[in-house]
Structure 1
Amino acid sequence: MKPEKRKQLFLIGIFLAILLAEGVTHTTMDLMKNQRPVVADLFLQVPSQENLRNYEENLEEGSWLVQNLRPVMQVLRFAVLGDLGKKAVAGREGWLFYDLGIQYLTERSQPVRPGESTPDEVVEAIVSFRDRLAERGIHLLVVPAPGKASVYPEMLTARALNLDHPVNVRTLQLLEQLENEAIELVNLFDLYQSEKNKDSISGPNNLYLIQDTHWSPKGMEMAAEKVANRLQELGWVEKGNTDYGLKEVPLSRHGDVIRMTQIPGIDDWYEPETIQASQVVRKESGEIYADDPHSEILVLGDSFLRIYEHDEPGSGGFVAHLARDLGKPLTSIINDGGASTLVRQELYRKPEMLAGKKVVIWEFVERDIRFGTEGWQDVPLPKDKQES
């Protein structure tokens, strides 16, 4: 046998031994724990695409070898190849993006996979919610939050420089559908594009954070001001008399995209992002903003409302700044990643949250049009206490 052939057979043998060792190790560990070996699932379930995918995921997550080698391999792949893993994508000039947001923009929407939603389902859920609120004399204002890659595609790839068309056509079509259904909404996409046209250079006036999926303090404050103006244009809300001021708070933080990678020690590779945030405070007392459950305005949303509000600096996010712009406190239900359905389910469980309300503001991030947690279910309103 030729030496080259022996070398090839040796390498094949090593590879097969590694595969066999993983299977033997996994099965042995399961038996030692008095658990049924995961491999048995192959013979106890119908070999469908979904079952095979679940088996693969369970095998990977439960593998002793994978769990012990994964951190080492993550560090090596990042150090050598710049690979950030499944959830993060490195853009230009240090910008980081959430993979699911890019997937929403770039993948074909059909066929819809399990757990995903169609634009028609989104429209039906929003129209149904609007109509149910209207029956109680409550107005609905919808505020889709643009994904970072929709606003800054050129920071994801140089191929998006000087594009003469939007990258989020699917979202714009949905907004048109909502307008055709007479849904009142705030178009932040146009607002941000107009602002970018004034200042197209990446820098301190960015509307989104460089290392994070969310808007910057400037982007958030612009959104709050736009919503406040729209509410008053519609005549739904009168300006209040609570006098709020601002307290500047500098922050230094690593973004959520860095945390998503779960690469050990990755914080040492990236400098924290410096942010100038603003807490909302009552001028007469200096107390930081707090929700008022008796407010006539209820805000529903996701982590775009949580950042700066519940995170550092606290009372400095969208809800607090909207309250400042309106001169009155609000109340809110915030659920990370759950604006499509979970916030409405929480509202259903808390009927007191809807008592005395005149306006509901519903924010959700753009990617949830397709990837919203629990989809876009038709959730009833809580029973009106006045009827009970």
Structure 2
Amino acid sequence: MTPTAEPQAAPRNAQRLLVAAFVAIIFAVPLLQLAVERRRGSGVRAVEVFQQKPTSANLRAYEHNLEDASVVARALRPLFQFAQFTWLRDGGEKALVGRDGWLFYKPGFDDMVTRGKPVAVTNDPVTAIVAFRDALAARGIQLLVVPAPNKESIYPDRLSTRVPEGQVLISPPTRDLLARLRAAKVECVDLFATFAAVRNNAAATNTTPLYLKQDSHWSPAGVSLAAQVVARRLTELGWVQLGRTGFAEKPAPVNRMGDVLLMLKSTTIERASVPESVPCVQIVRDDDRQPYRDQPDSEVLVLGDSFLRIYEQDEPGAAGFVAHLAKELKQPLTSLVNDGGASTLVRQELHRRPALLKNKRVVVWEFVERDIRLGTEGWQPVPLPPKAGHSHASAPQHNP
């Protein structure tokens, strides 16, 4: 007996229904977008491609504009991003999701594990640092360089269980930088070795972490340790004599939403996340119990990036690296912080503010490890500002 085709009718109908639903969804998205744009009177974004030359740059911009303007994408993107972050542990372009709630800045990690091209002489950090050291030395000012380790260099074991507990990983470009600075006789504080010693100390495995879980920056414990090491080196070199200003520590805990978490730009993820409790320690003067403040005529100038800004200009204030270094040296300092980067931008700002070098004997220059190859504006040569009493016309010209 020949089987009839009737039993196959139901599966075929289901297939047709699925195809029809799929086609309807495909057409519904642009039709919905068109209806919204007509209602708003903003014009039809889809036809903008015909209003400009079909260059690769214009086509990429057109594609990005369509994505940003899509009402469907804006409605669904937060949900997909939340699912991707929560269930797939994928933080997108900016974040890496580690173990136990630890988050890492992905570009910094990528730079650490990727073999990059050799830097050009005009973008070489050592060339720029040596030139800055020599220019300061010509004015009788000493330079101490302080590279701040990336979080992923000190806590790679929080990224993967395949990394042994407490192991520190230093990238080849960082090792090369430290070796070349030593060869050029540039005084440099090796916080990598200091932090590695803490992590490798079996008795200290349960101590407060040196970096925040949700943030790319160091914790109050990391700030305090770095300030102690830098102060010790300055006094060992005989560049700074301990002052007579007494400072005390005052507990100032804050709840902080980490910068890596905020980089996701997802209010859905932020609402589902608990701010990190950060046990900050504010520095106050012994005499009036007021929070630490910089002093413009100090003999020490501290340059740096967001590693100096955190806790100092952010909440709770007077609890960052500069304040803790001042406590260790028993004297107020002068500081210049550029959140955009300490490779070139902070020196450009110094060039525009000659008064900052008045009365200075020492410059402490902090920059984060990832800026060795990812620094904003690279490592450009930047002249010092003119000496006090000299006109800008007599100074070397520089166009930042």
Does TM, normalized by the shorter one, top 0.5? yes
Shift of residue 323, structure 1, vs aligned partner: 0.5
Matches for 1:1-388 after TM superposition, within 5 Å: 3=12, 10=20, 13-14=23-24, 17=27, 21=31, 32=42, 38-40=48-50, 44=53, 46-47=55-56, 53-110=60-117, 121-161=124-164, 166-199=169-202, 203-388=206-391
Structure 2 residue runs of 5 or longer lacking an equivalent are 1-8, 392-400
Q: Which has the higher relative contact order, 1 or 2, with Cα contacts under 8 A spaced 6 or more apart?
A: 1
Render the CA deviation track for 1:251-272: whole Å, top value 9, x for unaligned. 2323222222222232443333
Aligned length: 381
Residue 42 of structure 2 aligns with an amino acid whose one-letter code is: M
Distance between the aligned counterparts of 2:202 and 2:168, measured in 1? 19
Range that drifts further, 2-11 or 184-193 = 2-11
Task: Name the CA shift for 1:351/1:149 in 2 (closer, same or farther; >3 Å).
Answer: same
TM-score (norm 2): 0.84
**Contact 1:118–1:369 under 8 Å retained in 2:** no
Deviation for aligned residue 1:173:
1.2
Question: 5+ residue gaps in structure 1?
Answer: none
RMSD: 3.1
> How does the TM-score come out when normalised to structure 1?
0.86
Output the CA distance in 2 between the equivalents of 1:329 and 1:245.
13
The superposition leaves residues 220-261 of structure 1 with CA deviations (integer Å, 9 ceiling, x where unpaired) of 111011111111111111111111111122223232222222
Query: How big is the shift at 1:353?
Result: 1.1
Output the CA distance in 2 between the equivalents of 1:201 and 1:7: 63
Distance 1:111 1:66, change over 3 A: farther
Q: Deviations over 1:313-358 (max 9, x none)?
A: 2101100000011111001111223211111111111111111111
Deviations 1:128-171 (A, max 9, x none): 21122122111111111000000010111112226988342221
Structure 1 residues 62 and 132, CA, compared in 2 at 3 Å: closer, same or farther? farther
Q: Aligned equivalents of 2:370 and 2:170: distance in 1? A: 13
Letter matched to residue 105 of structure 1: M
